[in-house]
Chain A
Amino acid sequence: MDWSIPKFPLDTLCDQALTWLTVHLSGVTLAVAGVIANWIEVSTAALSAVPPPITIVVLAAICWRIAGIRPGIMAAAGLAFLWNLRLWVPTVETMILVTLATSAALVIGVPLGIACALSRRVWRTVGPFLDMMQTMPSFIYLIPAIPFFGLGPVSACFATIIFSMPPVIRLTALGIMQVPRELIEASEAFGSTPMQKLFKVQLPLAVPTIMAGVNQTIMLALSMVVIAAMIGAGGLGREVWRSIQRLEAGAGFEAGIAIVIVAVILDRVTQKLALRLRPTGQAAH
C-alpha cells in the first residue's frame, strides 16, 4: 500500500498567486518603479556632483547639531576616509537607498504600530506577519520584487522596506502600550478625547522606544543593502558583491569597512536623537 501523502503544492500556489498579481498589478508597480528609479538616479547624480568635502562638512555639521561634537568629528573623519578609499559614490548611493527605504518603512510602520497598540484585533492580525517578515530569509523578498519593480534599486528598496519595517512597528506598539496605566487614567480623567490622549500623552511618552525602533530599522536597512546588490542595487553592496565574485579579499574588506563606518555614524546619531527626545524633556548635552 502506498502511504505517501501527495505533496502540498505550496510552491505552485505561491507562484500562481504571484503570477496573478504580476499580471494585474505590475503595470502600475512598474510605472511607480520607473518614477522612483528616476528619482534615485537624479538624486544620486546630484549628490555625487557636489564636491565631496562640502557634503562631508554638511553631514558632519548635521551630526554635530543632533548628537554633539564627538559624533560630529567621527562622522567627518569616517566620511573623509571613505572618500580617500575612492568609495565616495557608492557611499552616497547607499545612503540614499537607506534613507529612502527607512523613510518609507517609518511612514508605513509608525502608523501601523499605533494601530497595533490601540486595537487588540489589529495587533493579533499583524503580529504573525511581523514574525514572518523577520524570520523569512531576506533573499526571498528579492525574487518577487523583480517582476513588480524590475531589476535595480527600486526592487532593492522594496525588499529593504519589507525587511526593515518590523522593528519600528513592534517598538512603536510597545512604546505606546508601555505608557503607565495611571498616566492614561490621568489623561482620561481630565476628559481627553482618544486623539488628545494619543498625541499629548501616549506618543510623546513612547518616543524613546519608537526611536529605538527607528535605530533598528536603519541598521536592518543597511544590512539589507548588501544583499540587495544581488539584484542590481548600487552602492557599497555592489562593491562587496563584486569582491566576492572576484575573490578580492582586500577590496571586499574596504567595502565592508565602509559599510561599518556608515552604520556607526547612523547608529550614534539616532541613539543620541532618542536620548534627546526622552520624556523628561531635558536635552542630553
Chain B
Amino acid sequence: MASQAEPQARTRIAVQAVSKVFSDQPQKALAMLEAGETKDVILERLGTVVGLNRVSFDVAEGEILVVMGLSGSGKSTMLRCINRLVEPSAGAIVVDGTDVTRLNQKDLLEFRRHKFGMVFQHFALFPNRTIQGNVEYGLEIQNVPKAQRAEKALAAIEVVGLKGWEAKYPNQLSGGMQQRAGLARALAVDADILLMDEAFSALDPLIRRDMQGELRQLQRKLGKTIVFVSHDLDEAIALGGRIVLMKDGAIVQIGNPEEILLAPATDYVRRFVEHIDVSSVLTAERLADRGVAVLRAGHTAAEARLAIASCQQTSWYVTDEGGRLVGRATREQVERCTGTIGAVMEAGCDRVEASATLRQAFARLAANRDGVAVVDDRGHLIGTVTHRGAARALARDTAGTAAASAEEARHGLVHPKISA
C-alpha cells in the first residue's frame, strides 16, 4: 500500500496500551479490561466508566494522524492523555523518547510548553485578550521577553492569514477567523506537535473545507506532526493522513483512508464508511490498470507492427525511452507507418495525475472512450483508468481492484515482447 511504501519516518509519539478508567480505584476495572471485558460489562458490574481500553498507535514525524470516532468513543480523552490534560490510568505515552506519563508536575509543564500546541473545538480564545494577546499567551507563560513575544506572535498571525486583525478581540472575528487565531496561538510556541481537538467541527461546512485544505498546506510547509481528533469521516479523509478509528474507548481499525474504505475491519467500520463517496478517496494511481500495452516513440514500423500483431485493441499509448507519455497511436497509424512511430503518432494525449482522485478523473473519462492515461509527477506513464475500472471501484468491488492492482503493480507495464 502507498503508505507502507514511503520511507519509514521517525516515530514522534508512541501510545502504548493506554487505558483510562474514571474511578478513584481503577485497579479492579483495569484488571477486567486486561481480562478482555467490554466497557458495558465493567460499567454494569463496577459502575465504573471506561474511557480508553488499551489503546496503542504510533504517530510518525510529519504526518497528520486523525483519531476518529463518534462522541463517547474516547477520542478526545485519548488526545488529552497525550499532554496529560487527562491522566491515563495505565499504559505509556512516549513522545520523542520521554514517557509523558512518568513526568513530574514541573517537567510536565516544561514539556507542555515546548512540545505541544493545542487547538480546541470552540477555539478557547481568551475573550479579555486581543488576537495578538491570545497568540502570545503560550510565550508569555514561558516568560519570553515582550519584544520577542510580539515578533513571534505576529509571524504566526501572518502564517494563518490574519495579518491586520491582531489588535481585534475574539468576539469581533468570525468563527473561521477565530479558529485561525487558535491555530496561530498553537504555532507561536514553536512546538512541532499539534494536538487538534475537533478543531473545525464548529465551523460552517464551506469554511471547514477551506481550513482542511489550508491545514494540509501548512503542514506540508511547516512539517508539523499533527494529531487531529474528528467525528467526521469526510474530514478525516480530506486531511489525507492515516486514520485511527475508535469505538467504545478501543481502536477498531488503523489505516489510510483507502484501506478503511475498501477493507473495513468490522461491520461497525463498514457501516461508518457506507455513505462515504469512494470517488473522492480513490486516486488514479490506485485505480490504474497497469497491464496496458505501450509503444515506444523510437520503434520502427516493423517493430511496432510485430508488437501489435497479437493485440485486439485499436490504439496504444506511446512513451519515449524514459517512459514518459508522449502520445497515442492508432492501429491505422501504425499500419501506415514508414519511419518511426514517433513520426506518425498523435502527439500529446489526455492524462490524469496519479494523485488525482477518481472524482477529478471523471471529466477526462467522459471525454475519452478508451479510458484515460495516468502519469506520475514526472510524466511517466503508470497505466490507464478505464470506465470499467471506475465503475467497479464505485461498486466497491474491492477484491477486484485491490487484488488486481497489487498483482499488476508487481509486473509493471506490459511491453510488447519485441521491445526487449
Binding site for B on A (CB under 8 A): 180, 182-183, 185-193, 196, 200-201, 204-205, 279-282
* A186 contact set on B, CB distance < 8 A: 118, 120, 124-126, 137
A-B contact pairs, 13 of them (CB 8 A): A182-B122, A186-B120, A187-B137, A189-B85, A189-B195, A190-B112, A190-B113, A190-B137, A190-B141, A191-B142, A204-B126, A205-B128, A280-B171
Contact between A182 and B128, CB atoms less than 8 A apart: no
Interface residues of B in 95-145 (CB under 8 A from A): 109-114, 116, 118, 120-122, 124-130, 137-138, 140-142
Contact between B169 and A182, CB atoms less than 8 A apart: no
CB 8 Å contact bits of B329-366 with A (1 = contact, 0 = none): 00000000000000000000000000000000000000
Contact between A193 and B109, CB atoms less than 8 A apart: yes
* A201 contact set on B, CB distance < 8 A: 126
* B85 contact set on A, CB distance < 8 A: 185, 188-189
* Number of A-B pairs, beta carbon distance below 8 Å: 72
Residue from the list A180, A183, A191, A279 in contact with B141, Cβ < 8 A:
A191
Nearest Cβ distance between residue A179 and chain B, in whole angstroms?
A: 10
Please indicate which of the listed interface residues B112, B122, B141 has the most CB atoms of chain A within 10 Å of its own CB.
B141
Query: Roughly how many angstroms separate A191 CA and B185 CA in the complex, as a whole number?
Result: 13
Please indicate which of the listed interface residues B80, B110, B127, B128 has the most CB atoms of chain A within 10 Å of its own CB.
B128
* A281 contact set on B, CB distance < 8 A: 127-130, 169
* B401 contact set on A, CB distance < 8 A: none
CB 8 Å contact bits of B165-192 with A (1 = contact, 0 = none): 0000101000000000000010001000
B83 interface residue (CB < 8 Å to A): yes
Contact between B83 and A189, CB atoms less than 8 A apart: yes
* B83 contact set on A, CB distance < 8 A: 189
Residue from the list B80, B114, B130, B141 in contact with A192, Cβ < 8 A:
B141
17 extra interface residue pairs, beta carbon distance < 8 Å, beyond A189-B85, A280-B169: A180-B122, A186-B120, A186-B125, A187-B141, A190-B113, A190-B118, A190-B141, A191-B111, A191-B112, A191-B141, A193-B109, A196-B141, A280-B171, A281-B127, A281-B130, A281-B169, A282-B169
Query: Roughly how many angstroms separate A204 CA and B129 CA in the complex, as a whole number?
Result: 10
* A180 contact set on B, CB distance < 8 A: 122, 124
Nearest Cβ distance between residue A190 and chain B, in whole angstroms?
A: 4
Contact between B126 and A182, CB atoms less than 8 A apart: no
Interface residues of B in 376-407 (CB under 8 A from A): none
Nearest Cβ distance between residue B156 and chain A, in whole angstroms?
A: 13
Please indicate which of the listed interface residues A183, A185, A187, A189 has the most CB atoms of chain B within 10 Å of its own CB.
A189
Query: Roughly how many angstroms separate A177 CA and B314 CA in the complex, as a whole number?
Result: 76
Residue from the list A185, A200, A204 in contact with B140, Cβ < 8 A:
A200
Binding site for A on B (CB under 8 A): 80, 83, 85, 109-114, 116, 118, 120-122, 124-130, 137-138, 140-142, 169, 171, 185, 189, 195
Nearest Cβ distance between residue B175 and chain A, in whole angstroms?
A: 14
Contact between A204 and B128, CB atoms less than 8 A apart: yes
Contact between B109 and A182, CB atoms less than 8 A apart: no
Contact between A190 and B121, CB atoms less than 8 A apart: no
The 10 closest A-B pairs by CB, nearest first: A191-B113, A191-B112, A279-B128, A189-B118, A186-B124, A190-B138, A182-B124, A191-B109, A279-B127, A204-B128
Nearest Cβ distance between residue A58 and chain B, in whole angstroms?
A: 31
Among residues of A, the one whose C-beta sits closest to the C-beta of B112 is A191
Contact between B189 and A190, CB atoms less than 8 A apart: yes
* B141 contact set on A, CB distance < 8 A: 187, 190-192, 196, 200
Query: Roughly how many angstroms separate A86 CA and B169 CA in the complex, as a whole number?
Result: 49
Please indicate which of the listed interface residues B126, B130, B195 has the most CB atoms of chain A within 10 Å of its own CB.
B126
Contact between A189 and B127, CB atoms less than 8 A apart: no
Nearest Cβ distance between residue A201 and chain B, in whole angstroms?
A: 6
Contact between B128 and A189, CB atoms less than 8 A apart: no
Query: Roughly how many angstroms separate A279 CA and B170 CA in the complex, as a whole number?
Result: 11
Contact between A205 and B116, CB atoms less than 8 A apart: no
Among residues of A, the one whose C-beta sits closest to the C-beta of B122 is A182
Among residues of B, the one whose C-beta sits closest to the C-beta of A183 is B124
* A192 contact set on B, CB distance < 8 A: 109, 141
Nearest Cβ distance between residue B127 and chain A, in whole angstroms?
A: 5
Nearest Cβ distance between residue A122 and chain B, in whole angstroms?
A: 20
Query: Roughly how many angstroms separate A280 CA and B113 CA in the complex, as a whole number?
Result: 26
* A182 contact set on B, CB distance < 8 A: 120-122, 124
Query: Roughly how many angstroms separate A192 CA and B113 CA in the complex, as a whole number?
Result: 8
Nearest Cβ distance between residue A276 and chain B, in whole angstroms?
A: 12
Among residues of B, the one whose C-beta sits closest to the C-beta of A205 is B128
* A196 contact set on B, CB distance < 8 A: 141
* B118 contact set on A, CB distance < 8 A: 185-186, 189-190
Query: Roughly how many angstroms separate A190 CA and B142 CA in the complex, as a whole number?
Result: 9
Among residues of A, the one whose C-beta sits closest to the C-beta of B121 is A182
Residue from the list A189, A200, A279, A282 in contact with B112, Cβ < 8 A:
A189
Please indicate which of the listed interface residues B114, B120, B130 has the most CB atoms of chain A within 10 Å of its own CB.
B120
* B129 contact set on A, CB distance < 8 A: 281
